[in-house]
């Protein structure tokens, strides 16, 4: 529990909130009312929550409390009020993907991950803002407007899970379910100072993901669904709930994640890859990351400055080509055809991706964890002119395209590896900064466990933004 947060239950970790409900020290209705109060207090300034069903939420919370009195616990998330990123379908609740084309879309069923958290006891109260079709590293759309960073409202909260991350940071949700096709969980976690986990590709079903009209019936290439939260422990709790096969494979398949291999810094062999000319870091971000690495080394981790034997520029370019194809479903013709390329080209690049994944897997035989940046900058000032392809940001006096900011995110995402973002002590500009903790495929619980160890050693972890301390 953070300093000064003892009586602010809406800012506790989801794990602590769930424990308090289970122990009879807190009811779901009490927690819900605190969260609703927080939404009414700060959301008019931040615009993170764009759809809210207060009466439906109260009915759900009261039902959860009635069940608790009977000892009928639905699961580990029993009674926790949450919002859901508006890129995921929620049964009976407006779900738009940030697009006017789905302004009146009321799904008849939940997305797979939403159904999993609902079945585990979560109380779903509303939806959080996204850029249209989740296609940006900031969060605004013509339907709901702009979401602001709670540390500085002149700045972006990241994207595409910018509304989700802001809601978690400010106690407007116990936790969130986000999506990440090019960094959409990791970038907002980095920009607003919370925890986020990009699962191994394929670990969590994507059904119900809205990336175009009629979407959500198949899994999108590169994309994953994962948690955003206020502690590393929360990430593991939620991931264990949402991991599983897609619905049609559930009769025959199940998922059992390997447990974390260690509980202390000294249990891990850690590689550090912070410096690369392909995507150099701003001074503020670089200083924060190097200080964190020094701290976890002092705590006993076995650190080596090295990285896999790959061409970073080629791996970034592979990501950019494949994500262009993956998101082409939301583009108008004939632009979509240019973005998608041919099926033969996609197959050739997928073979290259498989070779790269093999190189990384062999390299990881000598290491348990790779630390690398999330982005080369802290949150930048809102810029809604043109498109993401037109925009740039100045980092240490140099103009850098927005697409360049995706480099570290894309290099990890393109080969489907798990990555946990943990908040570190703030950069010298006073803004949040995170680091990616990357592990071998399906070693998600190691990424989360070491992320918690790193945050503790570095003196980081969740801190409520100023707007959430009122």
Catalytic positions, written as ranges: 85, 160, 184
Are 152 and 378 within 8 A, CB to CB?
no
Which is it for strands 302-305 and 269-272: parallel, antiparallel or unpaired?
parallel
Q: Phi and psi at residue 436, in whole multiples of 5°?
A: -85, 130
Write down the residue that tokens 């948690």 correspond to: 227
Nearest Cα residue to 255 out of 175, 200, 207, 176: 200
d(CA 252, CA 355): 29
Write down the residue that tokens 């897997």 correspond to: 361
């Amino acid at each position: 529990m953070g300093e000064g947060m003892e009586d602010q239950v809406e800012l506790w970790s989801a794990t602590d909130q769930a424990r308090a409900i289970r122990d009879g020290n807190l009811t779901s209705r009490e927690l819900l009312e605190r969260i609703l109060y927080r939404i009414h207090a700060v959301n008019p300034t931040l615009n993170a929550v764009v759809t809210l069903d207060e009466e439906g939420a109260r009915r759900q919370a009261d039902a959860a409390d009635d069940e608790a009195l009977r000892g009928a616990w639905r699961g580990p998330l029993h009674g926790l009020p949450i919002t859901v990123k508006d890129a995921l379908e929620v049964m009976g609740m407006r779900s738009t993907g940030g697009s006017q084309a789905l302004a009146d879309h009321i799904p008849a069923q939940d997305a797979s991950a939403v159904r999993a958290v609902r079945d585990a006891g979560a109380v779903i109260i509303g939806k959080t803002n996204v850029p249209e079709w989740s296609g940006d590293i900031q969060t605004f759309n013509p339907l709901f407007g702009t979401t602001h960073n709670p540390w500085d409202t002149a700045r972006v909260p990241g994207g595409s899970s910018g509304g989700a991350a802001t809601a978690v940071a400010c106690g407007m949700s116990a936790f969130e379910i986000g999506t990440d096709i090019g960094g959409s969980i990791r970038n907002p976690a980095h920009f607003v100072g919370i925890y986020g986990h990009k699962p191994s590709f394929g670990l969590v079903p994507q059904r119900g993901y809205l990336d175009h009209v009629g979407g959500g019936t198949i899994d999108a290439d590169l994309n994953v669904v994962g948690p955003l939260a206020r502690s590393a422990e929360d990430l593991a709790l939620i991931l264990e709930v949402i991991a599983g096969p897609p619905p049609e494979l559930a009769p025959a398949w199940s998922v059992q994640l390997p447990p974390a291999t260690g509980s202390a810094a000294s249990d891990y062999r850690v590689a550090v890859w912070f410096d690369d000319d392909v995507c150099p870091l701003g001074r503020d971000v670089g200083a924060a990351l190097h200080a964190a690495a020094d701290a976890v080394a002092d705590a006993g981790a076995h650190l080596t400055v090295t990285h896999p034997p790959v061409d970073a520029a080629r791996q970034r370019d592979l990501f950019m080509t494949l994500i262009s194809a993956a998101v082409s479903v939301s583009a108008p013709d004939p632009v979509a055809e240019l973005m998608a390329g041919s099926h033969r080209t996609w197959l050739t690049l997928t073979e290259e991706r498989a070779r790269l994944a093999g190189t990384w897997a062999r390299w990881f035989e000598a290491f348990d964890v790779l630390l690398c940046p999330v982005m080369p900058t802290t949150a930048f000032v809102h810029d809604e002119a043109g498109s993401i392809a037109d925009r740039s940001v100045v980092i240490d006096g140099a103009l850098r395209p927005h697409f360049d900011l995706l480099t570290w995110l894309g290099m990890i995402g393109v080969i489907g590896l798990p990555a946990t973002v943990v908040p570190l002590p703030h950069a010298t500009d006073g803004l949040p900064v995170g680091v990616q903790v990357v592990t071998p495929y399906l070693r998600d619980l190691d990424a989360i466990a070491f992320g918690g160890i790193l945050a503790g050693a570095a003196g980081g972890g969740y801190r409520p933004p100023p707007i959430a301390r009122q």
